[in-house]
Amino acid sequence: MHLILPYAASVSQGYADTLTGLRLPHLQKLLGQLTPQAPDSGDEFSLSPPHERALATAWGISAPDGQIPWAALQAHQCGLASATSSAWAVITLCHWQVNTGRVTMSQLPLPALSQAQSEALLAAMRPYFEEDGIRLVPGEQPGCWLAQGEVFAGLATASTDRVVGRDLAVWMTTSAQAAPLRRLQNEMQMLLYTHPVNDAREVLALSPVNSFWLSGTGALPASYQPPAESVRPVVLDSLKPLALAEDWPAWAQAWQEIDATRLPALLAQASRGEPVQLTLCGERSSQTWITQPQPVWHKLKGLFGARPLSESFEKL
């Protein structure tokens, strides 16, 4: 069992204040029985957040920052032709909130975007993408599509988890390679402004779809083989939306629920000496703990009190 927890920590002051009162007894016991590995260190401005880097490693994918080929992997899993020999991207429909001198991304996925609305927008936008040699394919959820095109090869893009609620100027792809995509983005903003889907959403007081975001760009190696299903990690995303919304009381409650419902089984496995792997991810770094033979002094350290949780979280 390998459990990955995105947004187990944050750089927010609200998080720091909440952590001081957080009690996670099963996590504390579990970390006392597992052996920490070298952290994957970074900063909060990397295009690929720590949880995506950890997941990519678990899936046997090595890629530069901002080029973890999540779209190509999804295409590969769906059996799409040429999934491992061409570049792909994830296209996420979104709402950009324009304020004075600042453009921010609203919540994702877009609230109440139906499958029918997604299909209508796909039909309207597809010809523009095809003119630029980009093939669009419906994704796993409304408003999230796969795009195939050589323009995505070697193109670094920021994860959607980096941009929600934040100033997009920090995360926009500004390379010369992306110039056709920026033009396409401007064209789609004009197209969407008067689209009937947005008229219907306005009646319901829902945020209009006024742009799209590119992420998960790149190609898989032709020889890539995913790991066996039995060894693939489990990603628990319940902390993520609460951390992105900076709802720290709800985040703490979600952590306590994980501690009470998901970690006891891992603790029991670790106590029996069975393989257990836990990866905690913050906004900068991640660290993994694994089952590993420990020296006697390590086993006895619990007699002198467990390490404070803050010490385990401080490098994330």
Strands 286-290 and 277-281: antiparallel
Residues in the chain: 316
Domain limits, the chain: 2-51+233-313, 70-218
Q: Tens digits of per-residue pLDDT, 247-306?
A: 999 999 999 999 999 999 999 999 888 999 999 999 999 999 998 765 544 544 543 445
- Distances in Å between the alpha carbon of 292 and those of 29, 41, 200, 207? 15, 22, 57, 50
Candidate CATH numbers 2.60.40, 3.30.70, 3.40.50, 3.10.350; the one for domain 70-218: 3.30.70
pLDDT digits (tens, 9 = 90+) for 143-180: 999 999 999 999 999 999 999 988 999 999 889 999 99
**pTM of the predicted model, to two decimals?**
0.92
Q: How many helices (H) and strands (E) does the chain have?
A: 13, 11
Task: Dump pLDDT digits (tens) for 15-62.
Answer: 999 998 899 999 999 998 999 999 999 999 999 999 999 999 999 999
